[in-house]
Amino acid sequence: MKKERMDILACPVCKGDLELSIEAEDEKGEIEKGSLYCKNCDQRYPIEEGIPNLLPPE
């Protein structure tokens, strides 16, 4: 996932801003592993293999 994508991403539940937490980046500086966190609804969305999983909780 590219860091520039943060400008267009929003929480799927409340449409609030997401905070990025990076665990691993590739040689190009793209995010391979980490998470996105919404303060408003206290939800965390994982980033695995460069793909953010923004499916709302059940």
- pLDDT tens sequence across 15-46: 999 999 999 999 999 999 999 999 999 999 99
pLDDT of residue 41: 94
CA gap 43, 37 in Å, rounded? 6
- pTM here is 0.89
User: What confidence tier does 56 reach under pLDDT thresholds 50, 70, 90?
Assistant: confident
Task: Return the closest-CA partner of residue 16 out of 48, 44, 52, 50.
Answer: 44
User: In this predicted structure, what is the pLDDT of residue 55?
Assistant: 93
Gap between the Cα atoms of 56 and 53, Å rounded? 9
Q: Is the pLDDT of residue 58 over 80?
A: no
